Structure 1
Amino acid sequence: MDGQRPEATGVHVSEADAQRQGITQMTGLEAETRLAYARFGEREARGNSPLYEEVSGAIARDDTLLARIETLPAAKRQPNLVLGAARFLGAPDDDAGTFVTWLTQHWGEVEAVARERATQTNEAGRCATLLPFVAEAARGRPVALVEVGCSAGLALFPDLYSYRFRTSGGEIVVGDGSPELVTTVTGEGVESRALPADIPQVAWRGGLDLNPLDVLSDSAKARDNARWLEALVWPGQTTRAERLRGCIATVRGHLGTHPGERPVVVRGDVVDDLDELLRQVPDELPLVLFHSAVLAYTDEATRAEFADRMREIASRPGGFTWISNEGPGVMPGIAETVPEGVEVPAGRFVLAVDGVARALVGPHGQAIEFLAG
C-alpha cells in the first residue's frame, strides 16, 4: 500500500464495498480479523510466499493471537503490517510454526511497531510498466514527474534504472542504469507498438504522501526506514528485496553527486494537499502525474474528487498526463473503458492514461499486457 493510508484518514473499505467496487487487492482489510488472515493466506500469499501462506492460516486458527491483534485499531490489523512488523523486529523466516511462536512471545514489541508504522510499499519495479506511457507523454521533451503516494520516492527516478522488455519477438533493453527492471510484454498488436527507445528526461520531480519516508540520506533514521521497507517485502521474494536495495543505493548515490535533483515532497492528503505540490511544478514543463496502489485505500468520495481534480488539471498550459495504476474497480469510470470481452485477471492492475484503460499490469511491474485501441 502506498500514499493515503486508511489508518491516517479513518477510512476503512469493507469487504462488501471491496466486492461491489471490484477491488481485488483488498485482501487483509476485511472487517473480521480471522477472515482477513485466512483470505490473505489463500488469495495473496499463496504462490507468492509459502511462509506467509502458512503463517496467515495458523493465525486464523489461533484464537489467542487473533484476540491480541484485535486490540489494534482496525486498519492496523492488516496482515502486511503485523507480519512486516514481526520481520522488522527479527522474526525467523525459516518455519511457519517458529514464526507464529515468536510472534506470540514478542507481541508487545510487534504491537508497538504496528501502531507506529504503516504499510508503505515502494516498488520501483513498477517503473517498467509505467515507462512506455511516461515516454509517450514526454514525446521527447523533458518532463515534470509527480507521484501521488510516493513513499520513499524511488519510483520518481525511472531515468536512473535500465529496462529489459521481454516480448514474443525477443528482448528490448533500454537504458544502462542499475538495477535492471524486467517485465514481460504481451497484448494485441504488441509487436507493432513502439516500446521506448530511450528513457525520458526528468527535469523536475515531486511527490505527495501522508508519511513520506527518507531512505536516501546518510542517517540512522534513513537506514531504519530502509530496513522497514525491506521488512515489508514478503519472505521468499528475494528478487524484490535485491531490487529495493539496488534502487536505494542507485538513487542515494545519484543524489550525493546531484543534490539539486532531490524531489520536492509534500506531506499530506491526496486531495486536500495536492495543489500545494502542483503549484511548485514549473509551468513550462509537461506534467506527468501517476499513482500506483494508492486510491484503493481511500473512500469512494475521495476517489471521485481526485478524478475530478485530474480532469481540471488537464488544461494546464505546459500540458498534463494522468497515469492511474490501480485495481480494476478503484477509479470511477476506468473499468468501463477496458475493451469489451477482456477479463482482468485476479491480482492485476488496470493502467489507465487520462482515464482510459491502456494495459493490464502486474502489481510489482513484472508484466504488462497492452490493450487494443
Structure 2
Amino acid sequence: MTDTGAKAFRWAIFGTGQVARKFALDLAGAGAPAILHSVASRDPGNARAFAAQLGVARAADSYAAALEGADIVYIATPATLHEAHARMAIAAGKAVLVEKPFASDAAAARRIAAAAAEAGVFCMEAMWTRFQPLLGELRARIAAGALGDPLGLEARFMAATPPAPGLALYDPAGGGALLHRGLYPLSLAHFLLGGIARVQAAAAIGATGVDEDCALTLTHKSGALSTLRASLRTSGPEGAVLFGTRATLAIEGPIWRPTGALLMPVRPALPPRGARRFEAFRESTTGLRVAGLLGTLRGSGRRGSTRIAAPFAGNGYRHQALAVMQALREGRTEDPRMTLADSIAILDAVDAARAAWQQGDRA
C-alpha cells in the first residue's frame, strides 16, 4: 500500500517496547512519505539502541526534546503515561496517535479529547484493527444487510502471560485483562454493532490486584447482545462470530489482526417431524452419530457460504499511520473509523465493567 501524497511527515515515537518496534518497522516499509524523525524513552540508552536498529534519525534525551521538528507523535509508552504524554504533544501543537488503551479510564480520555479540541490538532487512538482492510469490508457488508438484523457477537482475546516483575499487564495502576486484552473484542463490538447501552461483567481478581480473567455482556443501543472474554492467565480460541437473522459471520485469525471471514447463510430449522419412527431414529445412537457428522460437514463448508478476504499490508500497523497522514493533508482532526467519542465510549464501558465487579460481581 503506497501513500502518494507529496508531503513527508516526520514522526516522533514515544516508547521503545515491542509494539513501538513493530510500528516503526512497518512505517519504514510502507512506501509512504513518512520519516522516522525521533524516538524517546524513559531510558535514553533504549532510545539510542532503538534508533540505531530501526533507522530513526535521532534519539532524543527526553520526550520533550523528541517533539522538536516532529509533525506527528506516536505514543507507545505504558498506559499510565498516555494522558501526560498525549497532552504534552498536543500542547506543542503536534498530531497525536495514542496506543491502546487510549487512557487508563474515561475521565482521562475526556481530558485528552478536550485538550485536542481546544488546540485544534489531530488526535486518535491507535486501534489498528479498525483500519485493516478486512474490518472495513465487513462493516460495509453489515451496513448493506448481509447479516439481516444483527443480533449479537461473541469474541475473546485470551493469552496466557504469567506475572513477572515490572510487567505492565499486572500493574494495578494500569494493567488487567480487560484493559489490555478485552479492549480488542470490546472495540470490535462497538465498531460493528454500534453504541453500548448496558454493561454486565464479572472478573477474577488475582493476587496481583488486577482482573486476570473477565467476562462481559454488552447490550447495544440497537438491542444486539455481545458476549466477550479476556484473560491474562489462560488461552482460548481466536476469532469472533457475529450473528444475524440472515447470516452468521465468522471472523478468522487473531482478533487484533484477522486474516479473513466466512459469511454463512442462516438455514431455518426443519419443522417438527410427526412420525414417531423418525423421532425414534433421530434419538438413537446411530441417528445422533449421523446428525453429528452432518453438523461437522455443514460447519466445514456450508452451501452458499462466502469467503471474504481483504489482506492487510506489511504487518498491519501501517494502515492507521496512513490514515493519520491522509487526515492531516485534508485538514481533519479525526478519522471517522476511530473517533475520540468512540474511545471515550469504550472506556466508559470499561469503567462500567470495573464498577460491576468492584460492587461484588466477582467470579
TM-score calculated relative to the size of structure 2: 0.30
Q: Which structure shows the higher strand fraction?
A: 2
**Greater Rg, structure 1 or structure 2?**
2
- Higher RCO (CA-CA < 8 Å; seq separation 6+): 1
- Provide the TM-score with structure 1 as the length reference: 0.30
